Structure 1
């Protein structure tokens, strides 16, 4: 009976952990692509301020973003200009005179409208092959560009092969584009948007390069497949984490399918367990239970049955179970569940006493290179040290929680508005930018921090958390290692 109960507990834990990891993968993909939308919107601002943007100004702006260091997976940022047929020859000659004597719009042929990739930074390597390409000549690209033009929003294309793919290792790709309208011209209606369109700011992506920049995909344990649209099949396959590996020849014990709606387009994400995950997690059932994926009631029932005549040991085990349910096993900090409970109580108190509450969303910068270079063991030790430093920045009445791989949230109660929250945020940023000594390695990281204040940035738990999250992405988009406050509700 005990063996059967342990097996059932282990299977429940395994299933819950698999579901968590599957959702975490989808969340990371969605957040990464949402961040890239913000990058494109920032580039649109360059055109909104200046109207016409020179090649040098465009290059200077994009170089300042540090694409390769800060935005893994993105091939570059480009600008595709609209060229009416009547102005095509003049346009080509003008670009040739500017220092590109072999420039032309490609592919050749007569069309009702032409577009041309005029700028693309970094302007080197594979990206040189895209110079002058008419994206509007391709059906899949044209569909995304037209949707973006008419909606005024960022839109992702269907699966395409980038024109940059001239080497042997061809990858599936896609584009994300955002329309650029003539400065000062109205674009409130579809007709006005079409009339005043200048071009598109866009980003090309190679799918496998993009996924190498997203954490949480352990290809030896889980098989991750991403499909374009809402159907599976080879023609829609964008990414397979086990591409090229030998077929495993078994039915997965667990499978999770989710759908992401991103920038006007849908992806289907399918995660399946591999034999290594299924067997490795069962090696030590006692250790499995202690890792905390089981519900409190099941664990307590088992412990009470085991230690019925030993009250002291039962109480001790119950306390252990409570910690597993409410605290992060790695850092010892409160987890998301306990944070949400404390935030709920803090908001009730703040409403009653007309007080203020602050949420600080903290995402570590430069943590992934540590994991990649030194391994997950060193990464875990670093996260423990981060947890210690973060706790030292807090008052006893505050809560610092770990809510994801390298994501933390600070809950500050009875705070003195944005000034008080700002002081804590700067204290945290200073603490995390100091070097860490971990197992003989000197490691340097930083953090992007988003700050949201109750009640001006949200009066409920969901809105306040979302405001802090968006402010954090604003900090990422502003160059990282910085602090940004959420915009007041109703203020663009």
Structure 2
């Protein structure tokens, strides 16, 4: 009887303890579930905040770049509305549309010159005042040399940087592959095309990494409704040259955005090891 009484006592004790244990386990499960739920919620909230901030920065940068690219379109409209644009008219017009923005971009006019026209073209520019003008190529060392013979050239004739020593007059933008490819795309598509991730030969602000946007100009009164007619009637290209960090700094300086954000912009390719095109780290100088 004593054994039976002890067994009953143990069973009663267990019957009293198990509900407490079950409640405790249930509490732990609920606490863990709540922690996971809160963690997921916090992660989603952080991701949503990040996406919102990133979206704000992307929108500001895109709108800012569009504003600069519109200046290239405005210069093309000026050419389309003119029978011819001389250096003084170019300087006057670009100084107006670049007022307050000249440090972030420069505008260039590069006429198309074919191989047969080159001697007459060079002598004509020399008679106009640029006595040492010639069509030039940039050597890999950074020096200039007379351009080698090829079918066509797109030399810099006018520049919003008007000083002859800093404007790289005569430099053929058709010489290097990235620039040449962008010029051909702009010409054939009657559209704006860019040469990205390039080294600016005459860097704005003393730094080299940048990009150039090209827009074609066709001869007045001619058709350019097909690739054939566009190639035949191309008069030249307008180029907008940008030093990457300078233009992005200029855009962000005018924006109302969270200041304590590290910003990195990478090229639009699949190279995961590529360095950023632009980096702005809080407390450090941009690059």
Shorter chain as denominator, the TM-score bin is 0.7 to 0.9
Give the Cα–Cα distance (whole angstroms) in 2 for the partners of residues 150 and 178 of structure 1.
Answer: 11
Matches within 5 A, 1:202-351: 202-215=239-252, 221-234=261-274, 237-242=276-281
Name the SS of the counterpart of 1:116 in structure 2: coil
Match for 2:207 among 170, 178, 193?
170
> Deviation of residue 233 (structure 1)?
3.2
Out of 83, 93, 96, the residue aligned to residue 61 of structure 1 is 93
Specify the alignment match of 1:184 in structure 2: 221
Cα drift, residue 36 of structure 1: 2.6
Q: Aligned residue for 1:43?
A: 75
User: Paired residue for 1:98?
Assistant: 128
CA RMSD of superposed structures (Å):
3.0
Contact 1:72 1:213 in 2 (8 A): no
Report the alpha carbon displacement of residue 166 of structure 1 after superposing the two structures with TM. 9.1
What corresponds to 1:86 in structure 2? 116
Q: Distance in 2 between matches of 1:17 and 1:244?
A: 22
> How many Å separate the matches in 1 of 2:277 and 2:222?
38
Equivalent of residue 155 in structure 2, options 96, 103, 116: 116
Tell me, in whole angstroms, the C-alpha distance in 2 between the residues paired with 1:194 and 1:243: 48
Does the C-alpha gap of structure 1 residues 7 and 68 become closer, same or farther in structure 2, counting only changes over 3 Å?
farther
What's the counterpart of residue 25 of structure 1? 57
Report the 3-state secondary structure (helix = DSSP H, G, I; strand = E; otherwise coil) of the residue aligned with 1:157: strand
Q: Is the 8 A contact 1:79 1:199 kept in 2?
A: yes
Question: Paired residue for 1:194, among 227, 231, 242?
Answer: 231
Q: Show the counterpart of 2:184.
A: 146
- Residue 240 of structure 1 and its aligned partner are, at CA, apart by 2.4
- Whether the 8 Å contact between 1:172 and 1:239 is mirrored in structure 2 is no
Counterpart-to-counterpart distance in 2, 1:9 and 1:72: 47
Deviation at 1:91, TM superposition (A): 1.0
Residues 232 and 183 of structure 1: is their aligned pair in 2 closer, same or farther, counting only changes over 3 Å? Answer: farther
Which secondary structure state, in structure 1, belongs to the residue aligned with residue 156 of structure 2?
A: strand
Distance 1:243 1:14 in 2: 20
Change (3 A) 1:193 1:79: same
- Aligned-residue offset at 1:211: 1.1
Q: Deviations over 1:241-271 (max 9, x none)?
A: 249969xxxxxxxxxxxxxxxxxxxxxxxxx
TM-score normalised according to structure 2 size: 0.74
1:63–1:122 CA contact under 8 A, matched in 2: no
Unaligned runs of 5+ in 2: 1-30, 138-145
- Give 3-state SS (helix, strand or coil) of 1:160's partner: strand
- Residue 21 of structure 2 is matched in structure 1 by none
- CA distance in 2 between partners of 1:183 and 1:150 (Å): 17
Q: Is the contact made by 1:154 and 1:178 (CA closer than 8 Å) also made in structure 2? A: yes
**Off by >4 Å, runs of 4+ in structure 1:** 3-11, 216-220, 243-246
**Alpha carbons of 1:223 and 1:40: their partners in 2 closer, same or farther (altered >3 Å)?**
closer
Larger Rg: 2
The 3 A distance-change label for structure 1 pair 208 and 94 is same
Distance 1:51 1:222, change over 3 A: same
Contact map agreement 1:73 1:212 (CA 8 A) in 2: no
Aligned-pair CA distance for 1:156 = 1.2
Q: Deviations over 1:195-228 (max 9, x none)?
A: 0001001100000001102226767532312215
Aligned partners of 1:37 and 1:110: how far apart in 2? 32
Structure number with greater CO (CA < 8 Å, separation at least 6) is 2
How many aligned residue pairs are there? 241
